[in-house]
Structure 1
Amino acid sequence: MRLLNKVAIITGGASGIGKETARLFAQNGAKLVIADYNEETGQTALEELRALGTEAEFVKADVSNRDDVQNLVNTAMEKFGRIDVLVNNAGITRDGWLVKMDPAQWDQVISINLTGVFTCTQLVAGIMMQQGEGVILNAASVVGLYGNVGQTNYAAAKAGVIGMTKSWAKELGPKGIRVNAVAPGFIVTGMTDKMPEKVLGLMEEKTPLRRLGQPEDIAKAYLFLASEDASFVNGAVLSVDGGLTL
């Protein structure tokens, strides 16, 4: 029980990596507030968590909307009285070539993948500072480290998340708050469902482990970083990519 009685907020917690992270946290004793913009999948995920015997709440939220995020934080505090872990997992893709990218595609990805992370962390950090402890985990990407064709907006957002992670580690570390990021490689989720099989096959071939990642691979990284096993890890960007970027 590595997170026994710890209270965790997980954004984008109704599917993919977020849902698997919520399940793994629950199995390790955490109390959960999952947030997602999709109410139907959110309620289903909530039922599954409660079936495990977990104390959990679901909040419909768009992390690009500050009022939604404030409601999310308020719900966690009203229900549990504290916030020990924040997993900034929510994210979208709106891929396109630079010269053809609609400004709306840029704005949507930046507002959710970058500004959403800022807003969630800003509203939770003050609570963690009062507690004198806390863990903030951000979803980065190998794309944020090395770039990718057709993902100007996504790469920019994830590079920004990495920069914020390192800045917050320095700002919040003295307050007892650890801030780290996980940089997944190609993980089999709803996002990859949109990618051509040929591209996925190429990524699999390029990965030294000769497979694509699974949501549980990332969830296990989050569990480690959220736990006391990582008590001296701060400001790190952990690549979980099977060696793709070597």
Structure 2
Amino acid sequence: MKIESAVILITSASSLLGRSLAIHYARLGARLILCDHDETNLMKTVQLCRDVNDQVHSCVLTSCQPKAVEAILDFVQETYHQAPDVLINHWPNVVLPSFVDEAASDQFVQQWSTLTAHFFLFGYGCAERMRQAQNKGVIVNVISYSGAMELNGLVSASSMVSGFTQSWAQELTPFNIRVGGVVPQLSNEPHHSESLHYDELTRHTEYIVANEYFSGRVMSA
């Protein structure tokens, strides 16, 4: 897919990786819709993107409910008069409780349900809009983490991304919608550079979007 002028929706755009993704695609000339719960930091990302590209809009995600996601997709339609060409379905990994912690079950269920709901609702909503428009589309599922404390949940989150990516790709291939995934490499060693780490993840998403033959697979960086 040609990235220049493509309509790209990026979730969690106020986070460190979300900001890296947004600025990268702004420089490539995409038309962007950036969304997040955190309006203050979302607007910081928007301003950085508008320094290089004026086709950047923001939309605050008000809740983890289907209506809130549909409102964002309606905003994309109203702004660019089309469905998204690309969804960068990015969500920062959450710190999951230890399996042996007291009351771990309640905490796990709450955090895991929030993470999976975000991934599913945006993926499902965008796929439905792409199918209705009968245009080629791309969904890239991405997770990130910002510290070693989150590594205990990375294996579970990576498995979720891999499962969603493979199953969605099988179902959406007949509709010319590709699905790929990007996850951080599993390691107990600190990354040599956090910014370099985000750059690698960002470049992997670009490869998936641009490569017409990539679907149903997950890349790691």
The verdict on how the C-alpha distance between 1:64 and 1:108 changes in structure 2, with shifts beyond 3 A counting, is farther
Matches of 2:165 and 2:44, distance apart in 1: 31
Which residue is equivalent to 1:9?
9
Output the CA distance in 2 between the equivalents of 1:103 and 1:59. 33
CA displacement at 1:102 relative to structure 2: 3.2
Contact 1:35–1:60 under 8 Å retained in 2: yes
Partner of 1:139: 142
What root-mean-square deviation, in Å, do the aligned CA atoms of Structure 1 and Structure 2 show? 2.5
> Is 2:217 the counterpart of 1:236?
yes
Q: Could you report, residue by residue, the CA deviation over 1:28-76 in whole angstroms, capped at 9, with x for unpaired residues?
A: 1101111111110011111121221231111111563222211111111
Distance verdict in 2 for CA 1:95–1:132, change over 3 Å: same
Aligned amino acid, residue 121 of structure 2 = T
Structure 1 segments unaligned to the other structure (5+ residues): 143-147, 187-199, 241-246
Query: For the Cα contact (< 8 Å) 1:98–1:150, is it kept in 2?
Result: no
Deviation, 1:94, is 2.3
Aligned to 1:118: 120
The equivalent residue for 1:190 is none
CA distance in 1, matches of 2:66, 2:181: 22
What secondary structure sits across from 1:225 in the alignment?
A: helix
Cα deviation, residue 224, structure 1: 1.4
Partner of 2:86: 85
Q: In 2, distance between residues paired with 1:218 and 1:51?
A: 22
Task: Answer whether contact 2:92 2:143 (CA < 8 A) is retained.
Answer: no
Tell me by how many angstroms 1:149 deviates: 7.1
Q: Is this contact kept in 1: 2:85–2:136, CA < 8 A?
A: yes
User: SS of the residue aligned with 1:87?
Assistant: strand
Q: Which one-letter code corresponds to 1:28 in the other structure?
A: L
The answer on whether the counterparts of 1:140 and 1:162 sit within 8 Å (CA) in structure 2 is no
Kindly report which structure 2 residues correspond to 1:1-246, keeping only aligned pairs within 5 A, or say none: 2-61=2-61, 64-82=64-82, 83-100=84-101, 102-129=104-131, 130-140=133-143, 150-151=152-153, 154-185=154-185, 203-204=189-190, 213-227=196-210, 230-240=211-221
Aligned counterparts of 2:25 and 2:152: Cα–Cα separation in 1? 34
Q: TM-score, normalised by structure 1?
A: 0.78
Q: Quick one: which amino acid aligns to residue 232 of structure 1? A: Y
**Number of residues paired by the alignment?**
213
Q: Percent identity of the aligned residues?
A: 24
Q: Distance in 2 between matches of 1:57 and 1:141?
A: 23
Q: Match of 1:194? A: none
**What SS does structure 1 have at the residue aligned with 2:179?**
strand
Partner Cα distance (1:31, 1:109) in 2:
32
Contact preservation (8 Å) 2:95, 2:152? no
Q: 1:63 to 1:222 in 2, by over 3 A?
A: farther
Output the CA distance in 1 between the equivalents of 2:177 and 2:13. Answer: 22
Q: Distance in 1 between matches of 2:15 and 2:43?
A: 11
Counterpart amino acid of 2:212? S
Cα distance change, pair 149–84 in 1 and its aligned pair in 2 (3 A): closer
Letter of the 2:202 counterpart: A
Partners of 1:30 and 1:122 lie apart in 2 by: 22
Secondary structure at 1:235's aligned position in 2?
coil
Q: Kindly provide the amino acid, as one letter, of the partner of residue 107 in structure 1.
A: V
Runs of 4+ in structure 1 deviating by more than 6 angstroms, as ranges, are none
